Amino acid sequence: MDKQQPPLRIGLIGFGCVGQGFYDIIQQQPALGLAITRIAVKHPAKARTLAPEQFSYHAEALVNDPTLDLLVEVIDDPAEAFRLVSAALRLGRRVVTANKAMLARHLPELVSLQQEFGGTLLYEAAVCGSIPIVRTLDSYFSHEPLHAVLGIFNGSSNYVLTRMSEAGTDYGPALAEAQAQGFAETDPALDMGAFDPRSKAVILAAHAYGVFLNPEEVLNLGIEHIRAADIAHAAAQGQKIKVVAGLYRLPNGRVTALVMPQLLGPESPLFTVEHEFNGVLIEARYAGPQFLRGRGAGGHPTGSAVLTDVLALRRGFRYAYAKRATPPEIQLTEGLELNTYVRHADAGVLREVLTWLEMPAEALRTDAEGAYATGPVTLQQLWAWRKELRANSVFVARTGAVRLAGVPVPATHVAALV
C-alpha cells in the first residue's frame, strides 16, 4: 500500500464473536492500512473488552456517517441487519455482512438495491467461515456448469455428531459439550434443526446456478432427535452421519436443494470433516471435483473472511452473478425421491410414520433401541410431514442420492457418491 494513502475508515456494527475477531485481526496488522474508527453496539451495559467510550449505541449514525469509507455489519438480528444494510445500500455505500439468515431471505432485494443505487455488498463471511466458497463460485466458476455444490456448512452440528461418534455418547451430552466449548448457542435450534445450513445453501445457489431460492421452500431436516443408536447403525456399515446441505443439477437440467442428515462412507471427502470444521465439494463439468475444507465458525476464522471482503472492496471488487443471465428451472420436491433411514424409540410411532411417508410396513425393524426402517421416500412426502416428523421426535437421514423418480443419477455426478 502507498504509505501516503490514508487508512480506510471502517464503521463496525456489532462487537460479538465475529466483530471482536475482526477487530483483533485489524489491530494486529497495522500495515494493512485499515482503521476501525466507529463501533456501534446495542446494549450499553454489556461487558466488553474495550472501554465504553469507544462505542456508539446508534447504528444509524454509522450508516449515515459520510466520513466512513465502508461498513461492516456483524450483528445477530436478521431483521435489524436488513434494515441497516438496505439503508446503507440506498445511500450507495460499500458494506460487508456476515448475516446469512438476512441474506437468504432478502438477497434478491439487496442485489436490486446495489444495481439501483450503486453500492456494493460482499458477504464471504456468511457462508462456511474461513472457506472462500462464495467468491470461488462467483468468480472462478462463473461460466462453468456445475453438477453439484454440497457440503458440511454448520460447525455446531458437525461438532455434536463428531463427539457422539468419538465418545459413544448420546445427543444431549454432546450438545452440552458443544455449548460449553462455544461451538453451539444456548438456543441451538437454528444449527441443530439445519436452518443455518439451509440459509447458506440458498446464498450459494445465487452464485453456483444464478437462482434465488426462497429458504422457506427448501426442505431441511436436522439432528435434534438423533440418538447413539443411529451413530452405531452407521458405524456398523463403516459410515458416519453428517448434515449435508446440497445443490444439485438434475438430469433434466433443473436444480434442486436439500439439507438433511446423510450416511456417508469413506469414499466421500466429507467423511473426514470433523468437529467444528466445514467442507465444501464442487463438482464441475470440465474442472471435475474440487474440495475445500476449513474452520466454519469462530471469531478469528470468520473475522478473516470479513477482512478479505474489506480488502476486496478497497480494490473495487463486486460479485458478478454471471449465471443470473440464464438461470435453470428449479425443482425442489415434486418428482424427486431418495433412499432413507428412519428411526424412533417406539415401534408403534414408527409404524404410523411409515404410513405418512408411504413406506411399506414390512420395512420396519426392531432392536434394543427401538425401531427403524430403510427404503425410498419421495421428497414431497418428507416435505408434507416435516413438521410432524419434528414434533414426534423422528430421526430421518438419507442414504443415497437425490434422483428423479425412477431415473438413476449418472455415476459421473458427485451426488451419486455423497
The residues carrying an active-site annotation are: 200
> Sign (positive/negative) of CA torsion 4, 28, 293, 158?
negative
137 within 8 A of 282, measured Cβ to Cβ: yes
| Dihedral in degrees, nearest 10, Cα atoms 39, 104, 398, 147 | -110
Residue 375 backbone phi and psi in degrees, to 5:
155, 175
CA distance 294 to 307: 16
Q: Any residues with CB less than 8 A from the CB of 30 and at least 6 apart, and which? A: none
CA distance 198 to 246: 9
Residue with cell 475445500: 292
CA distance 299 to 302: 6
18 within 8 A of 303, measured Cβ to Cβ: yes
Burial 218-227 (b: 16+ CB within 10 A, else e): bbbbbbbbbb
Residue in 285, 292, 310, 275 with CA at minimum distance from that of residue 204: 292
CA distance 43 to 112: 32
Mark out the alpha helices in 298-391 (DSSP H runs).
299-314, 347-356, 379-384, 386-391
Residue with cell 477482512: 307
| Per-residue cell: 391 | 414434533
